Structure 1
Amino acid sequence: MKTRDGQRPDRLRLYTHRACLGHDPGASHPERPARLQAVIDAISAAVPDPDWLDAPRASRSQLSRVHDDALLARVLDTEVAPGATSLALDPDTLLGHGSAEAALRAAGAGIAAVDAVMSNAPRRAFCAVRPPGHHATATTAMGFCLFNNIAIAAAHACDAHRLQRVAVVDFDVHHGNGTQAIFQADPRVMYLSSHQSPLYPASGGVEERGVGNVLNQPLAAGTGSDGFRSAWRERLLPALQGFRPQLLLVSAGFDGHRLDPLAQLELDADDYRWLTTELVAIAERHAQGRVVSMLEGGYDLDALRESSVAHVEALLG
């Protein structure tokens, strides 16, 4: 993107792809294409002359770092004709004509963003993509998610860039059960999550610690800004600081917003701005400022617009 004086900063890169709008689980489904369009439009209006880059496709070998062959075949090789009824992988997760291409581009965005920040071209990146990813496990598409985009990015960072300390921070209102399950035995990746509990997918208890690399903070409905910030300030951020990440990845779900119809955490856009600012400071201290953020949940369009802009502005610093 260009700044107001026409110079290109090296601070933020934006990735998306029109194919991510082609995954259509139906007009009544919460995870609809309008979500992504709202985010793109809001960021484009708020950031001067944004330079959106097309996300590449992830390769099958890149996906196979975290997913088994059966899941790849189910998503990529199932033919759904244009206009045909979508195939239900579970009650909430549907596969349509454009879903495979959308999933490949969503995963590819995270890989490209990791490569970019590791080359020090930008220091930070935001991937406005869908379908979301953090519920998908190694073997199962679930919770609106086909492939686990953030886990694919983390595995790429570890394997292709030989990083030993990659942190995944997840502030989506739902626990990222898939991301946790994929890395709970891998000490190279630390997973930290705040999430409403009880709530789907009924995981993310404080007793779930992996090999010491998992830290969950369940939050009650109605927690609000003070409780959310206290949880991060007193428990999660100090743990992240102690891990000294070489790269910070963010599962940026904005469904904790008070307007969101699927949860009741009662946050606002300033909470996302505050936490993102804190994360950037830790990345500056330990990771040469390297942050890759990927869109997860958020189902009220006004809340999505406001929250994604606050998040990106904080990434820009």
Structure 2
Amino acid sequence: MIVDPKLSWFRMLFTFRGTSVTHTAFRIGFMTLSAFIVTYLEIHFDVDDKYTLTSTPFTLIGLALGIFLGFRNNAAYERYWEGRTLLGRLVNSSRSWARQIPMYFTATSPDEQAEMDEIKRQLVVYVMAYVHTVKNALRDDDPFPELETFLAPDEIEPLRGQRNVPAAMLHQLGIKLTSVWKRGWLTDYHYQTLDATVTSFTDIQGGCERVKNTPIPYAYSVLIHRTVAFYCFFLPFGIVKDVQWLTPLVVLLISHAFFGLDEIGDEIEEPFGKDEQDLPVAAIAKTIEINLRQQLGEQNVEELPKPIDNVLM
């Protein structure tokens, strides 16, 4: 995610990094060159009127196309914002888990205190590992190298071969929680409260998977791409009679706007990827880990993630 570099209004006019221009420059250049050729032929060879059009159909099509692009970008941004909302809930549920664990556990005898304290720590660390595994699942990365930094080999082994490692981890977390409850370290009420937190993890993960695995309908995206391309290509034929040598400039500006809106929709409809415009899933996972380590009382923890060149991944 690009963090606002606080550029002035004037400098924003000339910045290209992080904008759609870096992806649409070729398309814009091609349409502008085509417009220049059409303009040159019209002015120097006085092309017959049957090869040119009036601006009326382009006005109507442009209006409809703007509405369609707005609808698609709204749909893409809704997916982006839902993804950010779900990640925010993941932060909150993780912090709640780390707060609830030390508050709710009660040893049945003094001899069990040391063992119980270690299990409490393990349960919090397990959620740290789970959060990083969710991050890796959303970005299609191998989760096991990171898991090895959090969990013991005997905890990792049951997860190998699982099609959905985060879901398998929640299943194991539920088993651990039930085992603790059966030992009498949790009351029925506190057990139900912690189980509700585990359920919230399941809901959050399912929501993230829904966003990741359900793209905007392919046919709709293709229709928008084609319509924008055809509109910008044929636009010079409709305006060259009226604006003459300004035709390439007009096509440049309109192509920049339409191709830019189209590209923005493409970039934000997959919010969990690794592009500059995507959500900072790795930074959020690392933030959760740091927060939970501090809640465990650990000292000398890492600094919170900071943007590198105004980009937070």
Greater Rg, structure 1 or structure 2? 2
Q: Which has the higher helix share?
A: 2
Q: Bin the TM-score by the shorter chain.
A: under 0.3
TM-score, structure 2 normalization = 0.24
Greater relative CO, 1 or 2 (CA 8 Å, sep 6+): 2
